[in-house]
Each structure stands twice: as structure tokens, then as C-alpha cells.
Structure 1
Amino acid sequence: MDILESVKMATTTLVANKLRSSLTMLGIIIGNASVIAMVGIGQGTQKLATEQFESLGTNVLFIIPGNQDAQRNRGEIPKTLVLADAQAIANLVPSISEVAPQIQTRQPVTYSNKNTNTQIIGATPEFLTVRSFDMATGRFISELDLQQSNQVVVLGADLASKLFGDRNPIGERIRIKNISFSVIGVTLPKGSSFGNNQDDTAFIPLTTVANRIVGRTSPYGVEISFISVSAKNAESLGAAEFQVTNLLRLRHKIINEDDFTVRNQKDTLQIANTVTGALTMMLAAIAGISLLVGGIGVMNIMLVSVTERTQEIGLRKAIGATQGDILFQFLIEAIILSAVGGIAGTLLGVGSISLISLLTPLKAAVSPVVIIVAVSVSGGIGLFFGVVPARRAAKLDPIVALRSA
């Protein structure tokens, strides 16, 4: 029998039984849509994690006070890092380009009748480069501001909007912990990083924070919250981590366990990508079960169809159709059901991903390869699960079939 003729007959049969065909495809549609949506969400999660790590700066090491056990226990983090440590790293470690120590605290911020409680970062001029921030207007903290402990402040984009609306805040004065500060700049929007809004932040000179806001709480110098270190390039990141660790161990006279933690941005990103990759595979596997269930549904409905179409099968065999013709006919029907269901499921899945990207910060996306694989798998499932009913139809005795009719 001609292939085109078989396809035409199969299509005519399926269109004539719209409800049965639609219910048969439903499992495939849901399965395909689930696979594509889950893979898209997983890939979107990976992309979001990568963007958030990159927003912290490129080729960056983070030096945090306290060892990992202390951080896991979430107790009081020891005051083990001081400004002199950052200065020593800048002067003695050859594989790094810039060092940005910082002090973090939360304080009330007031302008006119507007009040908010926000993150205050005591920073140095190097912070702008190391952490990949850019200025929208005005300037950032200078060396002179540090030396003189000037009462100047740079506002994050969201904080500036919250306090001043559409007005230009440069030259205005705000109060932080009831101390007056002059606004000298506003940063470009940076976005959130791991739940922390980097735009709802006020940056003031590190020395001003130490002297006027939090006070000196360490007997060894100006206590800092952590140190960001920018390596010269990606290849020197490992060497920078090794050299910084050895230098701080010498400075802190450590023999056994470190009282600080050095976190490599790339290693952390790799771990995050591994976790999100495994999550994507798990979600795809769970959604793939829907495809399997859809294939079983195709087989069940096709078996029912064989019973309902006994007279048709008997008549076709009586006028010369071979077992191969009948087998091919039912296989074509199963493949069409699965392929059309796969395409409809793909459109539903892509639509769901677009909706998720539109309504949430998660920029979910899926590659064309995943779509092609999903449609191919759904077609293959139709072929696989269509074999049993097709063989059953092909083996029907025409005389018995005509009598049963």
C-alpha cells in the first residue's frame, strides 16, 4: 500500500473520531509539556545562579571571618579579620589585582519624612571595580574620603528611588544612625544576589563606618565583615587562594584550624551548577513518566479501536489487504497521534516557559535540541506502544472478523 494513501486513511479515521483521538493524545500532550517546562525551569535556575554569582564580580575570592563550622552553626562569627589583613594581602600577594575590604551593618536611614532600615556598607574605592558596580551619576568613595573619614554616602538605585523618587539626590543630605551624610553618587541598578537586594544599599567610607557607626570592636585593629579579592585573571585564581590562605595563617599565627574561610567564586558556581543540573535531570525524569503513561494510554485506546473496527479490518482483508497493510495502517495512526500530541505539548510547554519568564525573575528557557528530542521521543513512544494493537489488528481472521460484525 502507498505510504501517502495510508497516512491519508489514518488521518481520515482519526478526524472522524475527534473525541477519542483527543483523549488519546492528552497523555502525550501533558507529558511533552511537562518535560519541556521542567527542563526549561531547570536551565533557567542554572542561568539565574550563574548571573547572581557573576554579579558579585569576576575572578573574585571572598575571605570570611570564622571557619566553616562556625558559619554552619550560625553563632556569633568571631572578629578575626581586620583592615590590616586586607592591606597585607594587597601589598604581599602577587597574583591579585585589587582588594576590597568592607564592613556591613543595618541602620535606619532618614530623609525628610521618609524612613527606612537598610544595609550599610563601609567600602573603599576598590569596591567599585572588584564587585563590578557602575555609577549612574555622581562619584564613588575616594581615598581622600577614607583618610578624612568624610561623612559622604553613595546610594544604591532602589534606595535613591525610595528616598528621593525622581529627584536628583546629589548634594542632598540624609541621616544614617542620626548622623548627617552628604549624597555624592548613585549606582546603576545591580539586582538581587541570593535574596540580598544590592540596590537597597548605602555605601559610605569604611573608616567613617568604623569610627562613627559601629565603633572599633576588635583589639587588633578595624574589624571588617569580609574581604573581596580580585585575581589578575581566571588562571591565577587558584594561586591567589593558596597565597592568601598562607599569608593569613602566618599573620594570625595559626597552627591547627583556620579562623577564616576563603571561598573561590568559580568552585562555588561549579557546585551550584552541579546541583541545579541534577535537579533538572530529576525534574525531567519525573516529567518523563507522564510520557510513558501517555504511551500506555495510546496503546489502550488503540486496542479498544481494534475491537470497535473489527468489521472494517475484516472487510479490508477480504478485498485484498495484507497483514502488513493493516499493521502499517495502525502504526501510522499511533505515530500521528503521538507526533501531533508531541507538537501540541511542545507548544504548551514553550508557552508555560514564556509565562514563567514573564511573571517571575526566573529567565526560564529551553534549547531547540530539547524540543526536538521531546517530539522525537513522543513519536517513538507512539511507534513502540502502537505495535501491540497493530499486530493484533493484522492477525485478525477476515472471516471471523466479518462474522463478529
Structure 2
Amino acid sequence: MNIVENLKMAASTLTSNKLRSSLTMLGIVIGNASVIALVGIGQGAQKLAKEQFESLGPNVLFVVPGSQEERRTSFDLPKTLVWEDADAIAQQVPSVTEVAPQINGNQLITYRSRNNNKLVIGTTPEFLSVRSFEVAVGRFINENDLKRNNRVVVLGSEIAEQFFLQTNPIGKQIRIKNISFEVIGVMESKGSFLGSNQDDSVYIPLTTMSNQIVGNTSPYGTQVSFIAISAKDENSIRAAKFQIENLLRLRHKITDSDDFGVQTQKDILTIVGTVTNGLTFLLAAVAGISLLVGGIGVMNIMLVSVRERTQEIGLRKAIGAREKDILGQFLIEAIILSATGGVIGTLIGVGTILIVGAFSPLAATVSPVAIVMAVSVSGGIGLFFGVFPARSAAKLDPIVALRSI
């Protein structure tokens, strides 16, 4: 019997048991759809994280307080990084162009009857260029604001909309920690960064933040949350990191482990890439289990089919069908079930990715590699799990099979 006849017979058998065939394919469908969708979403998350870090600027470095071990295990970091460190970096490190220290803290913001806890960032004029932010309306903090401890504030775009609706906020007074501040500007929309909404913050002079909002919390100077630094160019990043580390070790009189960390955009991207790759692999592995379960389902149904069709097998062998003909027929049935389930699962998986991409910030992408692997695996599973029932059918003794008629 040739392959065309086997295909026709397999198709006829499967279509005559539509419900059983559909339920058999269900595990394969779910497995394929899960693998393709989860891999696509994982790659989308990785791409989104990369784009967000690139939006910081190509030559940005961050100096953060605390040793690597303390940052990993403690929520209360030591108060070792100060504004004076930022000034020293700006003046003594030749491979950097601008330095923007900042103090972060959540505070109650009030305007008339509206109030909410928002992130307040005390910073310097260099913040705009170092962090690639822009002002939409009004102006940003300047040197006079820093020198005079001016009570001025620049609003994030979402806060401006929440508190002032459609009115112009410039010149209005808001209260931060029950202290009155004049609105001098509104930032351009920047979007979210690793789950943190950058448009939901307000910016005030670093001196005002230190002296009037949080107070002086370090015995070594004006404590800062971290320092953002812009290197001259991409080729200067490594030199800037080396020079900053050496300078801070001298300033902090470090003889053992560092009480600070210097992270480049590339360092952070590597960490994020490792995490997202691991999560994507884990999700794909979990989804792959359903493919295995679907393959076992195919084998179970094919064994049941062999038992139900014992008479048919005996009759075919009695009139001249060879073992390889019977083997081929049952293998083709198993492969058709798995391949059809793979195609349907692929379509569902791709559709899920497109829906996620349309209704979320994830730039979910369809991975051709994942599609090829999922369909190949599902077809291979059909072949692998179909071998045992097919061999069982091929090995049936025609005399024994005909006795059951």
C-alpha cells in the first residue's frame, strides 16, 4: 500500500471520530500555543527592557551607595554617597561631561482638595541632559534655584494632568510635605522605566530637598540616593568607570570592599538580559511539559484505536497487508493528529502575541525559531508516541485478530 492510500485511510478514520480526534489534539494545541506565546512575550519583555535602558542615553553611568552584598541583601543602604562625591567626580574625572546627583523620596503632594503620595526628586540642572529628559512647558531647575534653596517645582506630565486637569499649572502653588512650592515647569512625557512611571514624579532643587524636605541624614555631607553621570562618548565609559572607582576609594578611605557601586548601561542590560532569558527559558520549559502530556494523550488514544480496530487489522493482514503497511497507517494517523494540533496551536499562539502587543507596552514578537521548534517537536512527539501503538497493531497475529470477529 502506498503512502497516498495510507493518508486517505488515516484521514477517513480520524474524520469518522471527530470528537476523539479533537480531544487528542487538544494537548498538542495547548502546548504549541503556550510555547510560542510565552517565548514571544518573553522576548518582548527583553526588548522593552533594552529600549528603556537605551532611552537613558548611550553613555550613562550610575553610582549607587552600598557594597554589592548590601544592595543584594539590605533595604536600608548605608549613607555613604554624598553630593560632595558628585562634585569631585565632575571636577576631577576627565572622561565625564556632566554629573547629576539626586535625592529620591515619596512625599504627600497637595493642591486644593487634591492630594496624593508621589515621588519627589531633588536634583540639579544637569539632570535634563544626563537622563535625556525634556521640558514641555516652562523651565527646569537652574543654578540660582540651587544657591537660594528656592521652593520651586517641575511636574511630571501625569501629575500635571491629575492635579490641574486642562489648566496651565505654571505659577500655581502646590504643597509638598505641607511646604508651599511654585510650579515653574512641566516635563515632556517619558513613559515607564522597569515598571516605574517616570511621568508620575516631581522635581525640586537638590538643596531644597536636602534642607527642607528630608533633612541632612549623613555625617559626611549631603546624602544622595545615587549619582547619574554622562561619559564623553561610548569609548570613554570604561575609563570613566575606572577613574570614578579610584576617586571614590580615595575619598572614602577604602582599604577593603567598596561602599559604593558604579554601573554602566551595558552592565545593567547584561543583568536584565540574563534574567529575562532565564524567565523565557523557564516559561518555555513549563509550556513544553504540556506538549509532552499531549504526546502521551496521542499514544493513549492510538492504543485504544488499535484495540477497537483489531478485527480490521486482522482482516487486512489476512488479505495481504504487510506489517509495514499497518505500521505506516497508524504512524500517519499519529503524525496527522500532532501536526494538525501543531498548526492550530501555532495560529493561537501567534494570535495571543498580537493581542498582547496591541493591549500592552510589551513589543511582543513572533519568533520564527519558536514556531519551527514547536511544530517540529509536536510532529516528532506524534511520531515518537505513535511508534508503540503502531508496532502493537503491526505485530497482531491475523488468526487471533480474526477470531474476535
SS state of the match for residue 110, structure 2? strand
- Once the two structures are overlaid, the 10-residue window that deviates more, 204-213 or 383-392, is 204-213
Q: What does residue 391 of structure 2 align with?
A: 391
Is 2:28 the counterpart of 1:28? Answer: yes
Is 2:35 the counterpart of 1:5? Answer: no
Matches within 5 A, 1:211-222: 211-218=211-218, 220-222=220-222
Is 2:250 the counterpart of 1:250? Answer: yes
Q: What does residue 321 of structure 2 align with?
A: 321
Q: What does residue 334 of structure 1 align with?
A: 334
Q: By how many angstroms is 1:18 displaced?
A: 0.8
Q: What does residue 348 of structure 2 align with?
A: 348
- Once the two structures are overlaid, the 10-residue window that deviates more, 327-336 or 104-113, is 104-113
Contact conserved, 1:104 with 1:121, CA < 8 A, in 2? yes
SS state of the match for residue 38, structure 1? helix
Give me the whole-angstrom Cα distance separating, in 2, the residues matched to 1:66 and 1:401: 78
Q: By how many angstroms is 1:134 displaced?
A: 2.6
The share of aligned pairs that are identical, in percent, is 67
Contact conserved, 1:100 with 1:229, CA < 8 A, in 2? yes
Matches within 5 A, 1:32-51: 32-51=32-51
Give me the whole-angstrom Cα distance separating, in 1, the residues matched to 2:45 and 2:212: 41
Q: What does residue 199 of structure 1 align with?
A: 199
Please list the CA deviations of residues 23-82 of structure 1 after superposition, one character each: whole Å capped at 9, or x if unmatched. Answer: 221221222223223323432443344344345443322212333344445365443333
Q: By how many angstroms is 1:242 displaced?
A: 1.1
Give me the whole-angstrom Cα distance separating, in 1, the residues matched to 2:117 and 2:23: 56
* Length-normalised TM-score, structure 2: 0.90
- Once the two structures are overlaid, the 10-residue window that deviates more, 58-67 or 332-341, is 58-67
Q: What does residue 102 of structure 1 align with?
A: 102
**Letter of the 1:267 counterpart:** D
Contact conserved, 1:58 with 1:130, CA < 8 A, in 2? no
**Letter of the 2:162 counterpart:** K
Compared CA separation, residues 329 and 218, structure 1 to 2 (3 A): closer
Q: What does residue 306 of structure 1 align with?
A: 306
Contact conserved, 2:33 with 2:346, CA < 8 A, in 1? yes
**Letter of the 1:24 counterpart:** T
Give me the whole-angstrom Cα distance separating, in 2, the residues matched to 1:318 and 1:146: 99
Give me the whole-angstrom Cα distance separating, in 2, the residues matched to 1:304 and 1:81: 71
Q: What does residue 268 of structure 1 align with?
A: 268
Give me the whole-angstrom Cα distance separating, in 2, the residues matched to 1:70 and 1:173: 40
SS state of the match for residue 224, structure 1? coil
Q: By how many angstroms is 1:264 displaced?
A: 3.0
**Letter of the 1:90 counterpart:** A
Please list the CA deviations of residues 133-178 of structure 1 after superposition, one character each: whole Å capped at 9, or x if unmatched. Answer: 2333333223343344333221112211111112222232222233
Q: By how many angstroms is 1:339 displaced?
A: 0.4
Give me the whole-angstrom Cα distance separating, in 2, the residues matched to 1:176 and 1:218: 22
Is 2:150 the counterpart of 1:150? Answer: yes
Compared CA separation, residues 77 and 286, structure 1 to 2 (3 A): closer
Contact conserved, 2:342 with 2:378, CA < 8 A, in 1? yes
SS state of the match for residue 321, structure 1? coil
Give me the whole-angstrom Cα distance separating, in 1, the residues matched to 2:118 and 2:27: 50
Q: By how many angstroms is 1:280 displaced?
A: 2.1
Contact conserved, 1:59 with 1:266, CA < 8 A, in 2? no
Give me the whole-angstrom Cα distance separating, in 1, the residues matched to 2:78 and 2:399: 90
SS state of the match for residue 129, structure 2? helix
**Letter of the 2:164 counterpart:** F
Q: What does residue 86 of structure 1 align with?
A: 86
Q: What does residue 115 of structure 2 align with?
A: 115
Please list the CA deviations of residues 97-143 of structure 1 after superposition, one character each: whole Å capped at 9, or x if unmatched. Answer: 32111122232222222122222111112211222223333332233
Give me the whole-angstrom Cα distance separating, in 2, the residues matched to 1:218 and 1:386: 71
**Letter of the 1:209 counterpart:** M
SS state of the match for residue 146, structure 1? helix
Q: By how many angstroms is 1:341 displaced?
A: 1.0
Contact conserved, 1:58 with 1:132, CA < 8 A, in 2? no
Give me the whole-angstrom Cα distance separating, in 2, the residues matched to 1:309 and 1:76: 71
Contact conserved, 2:39 with 2:367, CA < 8 A, in 1? no
**Letter of the 1:325 counterpart:** D
Q: By how many angstroms is 1:349 displaced?
A: 2.9
Give me the whole-angstrom Cα distance separating, in 2, the residues matched to 1:12 and 1:250: 82
Compared CA separation, residues 207 and 387, structure 1 to 2 (3 A): same
Is 2:142 the counterpart of 1:166? Answer: no
Give me the whole-angstrom Cα distance separating, in 2, the residues matched to 1:199 and 1:386: 57
User: 5+ residue gaps in structure 2?
Assistant: none
Compared CA separation, residues 216 and 396, structure 1 to 2 (3 A): closer
* Length-normalised TM-score, structure 1: 0.90
Q: What does residue 223 of structure 2 align with?
A: 223
Contact conserved, 2:241 with 2:262, CA < 8 A, in 1? yes
**Letter of the 1:11 counterpart:** A
**Letter of the 1:91 counterpart:** Q
Contact conserved, 2:107 with 2:118, CA < 8 A, in 1? yes
Give me the whole-angstrom Cα distance separating, in 1, the residues matched to 2:72 and 2:289: 37
State how many pairs are aligned. Answer: 405
Q: Which runs of at least 4 in structure 1 moved beyond 6 Å after TM superposition?
A: none
Matches within 5 A, 1:361-372: 362-372=362-372
Contact conserved, 1:96 with 1:231, CA < 8 A, in 2? yes
Give me the whole-angstrom Cα distance separating, in 2, the residues matched to 1:332 and 1:16: 16
Give me the whole-angstrom Cα distance separating, in 2, the residues matched to 1:133 and 1:307: 71
Contact conserved, 1:241 with 1:262, CA < 8 A, in 2? yes
Q: What does residue 290 of structure 1 align with?
A: 290
Give me the whole-angstrom Cα distance separating, in 1, the residues matched to 2:267 and 2:64: 16
Give me the whole-angstrom Cα distance separating, in 2, the residues matched to 1:80 and 1:21: 67
